[in-house]
Amino acid sequence: MGRDMVSIKGTRNGLVIVLDPNREFEEIKNTLLRKMESARGFFKGARFSFFQGHQEIPAHQKNELENICRQFGLVPDTGGQAELKKDLPPAPRSQAAAARRSGIGEPALMVRRSLRSGQHVSYPGHVVVLGDIHPGAEVVSGGSILVMGNCRGTVHAGAAGDLSAKVIALRLAPTVLSIAGRRQAFEQQGPAPLECLVARLKGQEIIFEKYQAGR
């Protein structure tokens, strides 16, 4: 699978919106608009900068893209693009390079605790929870969500419109689950079976399957 036309990466200084320099501007602009609409409110207030490899973005195109982001509450970073670039993953080498090229290994936010009622985690990329997500807790991820325990709270994967995002948990019994804007609510009916399940999109529907490594 080729690289994303528009991908949104979180750094300690804000967001870097990475653009594929090999795609037409109109395609990029329309894709960015769709991602912002899918994640409406998710990135509000975040500072952002654009990155298109070694190619300079023409000023009039950059202005159009910035205006789209402003409509959804994002704030352009006027002087920190160089700093933002430093936070992108470094160019991989040797075995690590081969792994990245083959799609193995991606950055993720690791939450090293259980999340209790009232606690909230948002991240533009993947999220891994080393514990439980209790009812009343919420995780919003731009990518996939992996829960190494009970998932009984509210989880939103693919918040920026990533249709390939998944939710995986050792016990998957959420209160609310959504993937790329497709939402499903559940009524708790006793403890969930101890079985690792994955929720993903199939067409317009969310389906649940037994987790199989490598799929």
Measured distance CA(91)–CA(84) in Å, rounded: 15
Neighbouring-strand partners of residue 157? 179
Domain 108-210 adopts which CATH fold?
Pectate Lyase C-like (2.160.20)
Give the closest residue to 161 by CA, choosing from 143, 184, 185, 138: 143
Please identify, in words, the CATH class of the domain defined by 6-101.
alpha beta
Q: CA 85, 87, 90: angle at the middle one, nearest 5?
A: 85
Instruction: Name the residue with tokens 């395609």.
Output: 27
Q: Which residue would you say has higher pLDDT here, 3 or 138?
A: 138
**Residue labelled with tokens 């080729």:** 2
Q: How confident is the model at residue 40 (pLDDT cuts 50, 70, 90)?
A: confident
Mean pLDDT computed over 18-31? 88
Q: What is the pLDDT of residues 82-99, one digit of tens each?
A: 444 444 444 444 444 444
Dihedral in degrees, nearest 10, Cα atoms 62, 34, 140, 153:
170
* Residue ranges covered by each domain of the chain: 6-101, 108-210
Give the HSE-up count for residue 191: Cα atoms under 13 Å, Cβ half-sphere.
Answer: 6
- β 6-11/14-19 pair status: antiparallel
Q: What percent of the chain lies above the pLDDT cut of 70?
A: 78
Task: Quote the mean pLDDT of the chain.
Answer: 80
Given this model, what pLDDT does residue 167 score?
A: 95
**Average confidence (pLDDT) over 151-156:** 93
> pLDDT-based confidence at 125, cuts 50/70/90?
confident
Average pLDDT over residues 14-18: 83
Residue 181 has pLDDT above 90, yes or no: no
Across 37-41, 86-90, 193-197, 200-204, least confident range: 86-90
Residue 157 reports pLDDT greater than 70: yes
Sequence-ordered alpha helix ranges (H) in the chain: 25-38, 59-71, 81-86, 94-101
Residue 105 confidence (pLDDT):
64
Average pLDDT, stretch 43-51? 85
Cα separation of 63 and 54, whole Å? 19
**Stretch 143-158: mean pLDDT:** 93
